[in-house]
């Protein structure tokens, strides 16, 4: 069955509507052509870009496991070199992540330091969260760095190694992170004796701040600076 023909008035209106639509399209194309010819190119503004906000680094231990004490025989030069591996995840905005190693972190010394030894360590190159965790290794060489050996067993043999990460370490704050909100750390237990010796501890008690003077890097008193005496 064929469609009925359009009424005479409708047939007359269709060409007129097509004419008006064609004229409007031509005017739009002409305006675009005029804009291109005036500047030589059609410029489209790029969307505004905001860099991601910098975040505090997050450290994750890789090896050794932080729950397992690390025995170091101080009479064996080869055993006095230990590697400690971790990953860091952070949005750095181009700033490298600074790394510090503290021996006996949290034990306040007489000269107001929050650790008994500090070991220099290279920084980690800047990265992004989208780039994922960045693995790195730092070495503790007790042939170069000394470790406290005062006290009696087991205090003499029981120590800790803390790996601290931040975007800025401040020498005026005992080489602690400048911003307490921009830091992360991992602590391993060190036992400095031959594990085959019967008097060598297999584990060490946790730091007791009720019996031992304690101080940590997020303590506001560090803003007063550290002393050398």
Q: What is the dihedral of CA 161, 153, 77, 195, to 10 degrees?
A: -90
pTM, rounded to two decimals: 0.77
Domain limits, the chain: 58-224
Q: What pairs with residue 120 in β-bridges?
A: 100
Distance linking the first and last C-alpha atoms of the chain? 109
Q: What is the dihedral of CA 75, 76, 77, 82, to 10 degrees?
A: -110
Please give the structure tokens belonging to residue 136.
């790195």
Asked if residue 154 has a cis previous peptide bond (ω within 30° of 0), the answer is yes
Question: What contacts 208, CB < 8 A, 6 or more positions away?
Answer: none
Query: What is the 3-state secondary structure of 147-177?
Result: CCCCCCCCCCCEEEEEEEEECCEEHHHCCEE
CATH code matching the domain that covers 58-224, chosen among 2.60.40.10, 3.40.630.30, 3.40.190.10, 1.10.420.10? 2.60.40.10
229 residues of the chain, pLDDT tens digit each: 455 554 444 344 434 444 444 544 445 545 444 444 445 566 677 777 777 899 999 999 999 999 999 999 999 999 999 999 999 999 999 999 999 999 999 999 888 899 999 998 999 999 999 999 999 999 999 998 888 877 666 678 999 999 999 999 999 999 999 999 999 999 999 999 999 999 999 999 999 999 889 999 999 888 776 765 4
């Amino acid at each position: 069955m064929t469609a009925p023909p359009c009424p005479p008035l409708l047939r007359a209106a269709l060409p007129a509507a097509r004419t008006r639509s064609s004229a409007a399209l031509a005017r739009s194309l002409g305006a675009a052509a005029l804009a291109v010819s005036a500047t030589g190119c059609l410029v489209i503004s790029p969307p505004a870009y905001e860099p991601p906000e910098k975040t505090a680094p997050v450290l994750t231990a890789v090896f050794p496991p932080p729950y397992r004490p690390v025995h170091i025989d101080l009479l064996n030069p080869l055993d006095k070199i230990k590697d400690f591996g971790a990953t860091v995840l952070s949005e750095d905005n181009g700033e490298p992540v600074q790394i510090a190693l503290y021996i006996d972190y949290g034990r306040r010394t007489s000269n107001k330091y929050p650790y008994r030894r500090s070991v220099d360590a290279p920084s980690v190159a800047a990265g992004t969260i989208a780039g994922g965790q960045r693995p790195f290794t730092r070495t503790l060489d007790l042939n170069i760095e000394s470790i406290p050996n005062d006290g009696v067993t087991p205090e003499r043999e029981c120590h800790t190694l803390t790996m601290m990460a931040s975007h800025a370490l401040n020498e005026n704050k005992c080489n602690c992170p400048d911003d307490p909100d921009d830091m992360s750390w991992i602590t391993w237990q060190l036992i400095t004796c031959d594990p085959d010796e019967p008097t060598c501890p297999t584990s060490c008690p946790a730091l007791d701040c009720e019996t031992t003077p304690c101080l940590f890097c997020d303590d506001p008193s560090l803003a007063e600076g550290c002393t050398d005496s």
